[in-house]
Structure 1
Amino acid sequence: MGLILQVFGAYVVTVTSGIIFETPKHLVLQSGFIGALGYLVYLLSLHYTGSAVATLLSGMIIALLSHIAARLLKSPVTIFYIPSIFPLVPGVGIYKIAYYYILGNTNLAGKNFVESISIAGAIALSIFFVDSFLEVYNTVKIKFKKI
């Protein structure tokens, strides 16, 4: 039950951030589905890996599904990327950095800093990997059509 509730929460977060960023109304539910599916991958892979690797895997799923949705629905890919990534953003980690730093516990602040930077880097890398793979795939596909 807890897993379903968390995935539903990710869906709500994605839809809400889509509304805030003025995603077209007919695409809000699709971006919510992508965000919820990405967060489900995060939760399932978190049991086997660390948070940064789980974020990388779920970010890659979000990026791939965003590209597929963009092509099928003839929309810019960022309409799906931006709201769907929100459930993965390390907001609590960033809060803990400031909290522990104010308390004077620099060890815990540093630990949370490294973890938050790792998660943020995993988000960026996941988008980079999928975009680069699709760019290479499309280039190779065009080259082979000419032959």
Structure 2
Amino acid sequence: MPDLLLTIIIQFVVAGLATFGFAIIFNAPRSESMLCGITGAIGWLVYYLLIHYADFNLVASALIATGILTIFARILAVRRQNPVTLYLMTGIFPLVPGAGIYYTAYYLITDDRSAFASKGTETLEIAIAIVFGIIFGTAIPQVLFHKLVRTKKGASHS
């Protein structure tokens, strides 16, 4: 069990640092960079746990992780009064199948048609899953996020 906890902590920290770095490159406001990093770390951790411990496939894991990350980004956007894209675009950074895109291009160039088709299909499926995760996360009415934030702020002032 300690190994599992250490692995989870390492995955969270590395994904958070990578997303934090991307937020800086993306020119996110300094005051929001840490929250952008946390958003990416949460999305990656959900993805990682679903693949390695819940036996989900890559596509389902990307869909669920992106949906959760989108909801978290929307909560932050309302709470911090910023555009949701600030947290969402930086937060999906760890989930984007960059290696899949690289290997798809590599197999195309090396004329390995079978590997190209296989990796290209997998990469496209993951990218589509990310899009649908965002759609599902944004399908929740905005008024619910405002009510949630108002309820939390009201509870903290009592």
TM-score (norm 1): 0.88
The whole-number CA distance in structure 1 between the counterparts of 2:11 and 2:115 is 26
Aligned to 2:28: 23
Which residue identity does 2:26 align to in structure 1? F
Q: Does 1:93 align with 2:96?
A: no
The whole-number CA distance in structure 2 between the counterparts of 1:71 and 1:13 is 24
Which residue identity does 1:134 align to in structure 2? P
Q: 2:77 aligns with which of 53, 70, 73?
A: 70
Q: Does 1:128 align with 2:135?
A: yes
Question: How far is 1:6 from its partner?
Answer: 2.5
Q: Does 1:117 align with 2:103?
A: no
RMSD: 1.6
Q: Percent identity?
A: 33
Question: How far is 1:136 from its partner?
Answer: 8.8
Structure 2: where are the runs of 5+ without partners? Answer: 1-5, 146-158
The number of equivalent residue pairs is 138
After superposing the two structures, state which structure 1 stretch, 128-137 or 82-91, moved more: 128-137
Aligned to 1:104: 111
The whole-number CA distance in structure 2 between the counterparts of 1:100 and 1:55 is 23
The whole-number CA distance in structure 2 between the counterparts of 1:102 and 1:110 is 12
Runs of 4+, deviation exceeding 6 Å: none
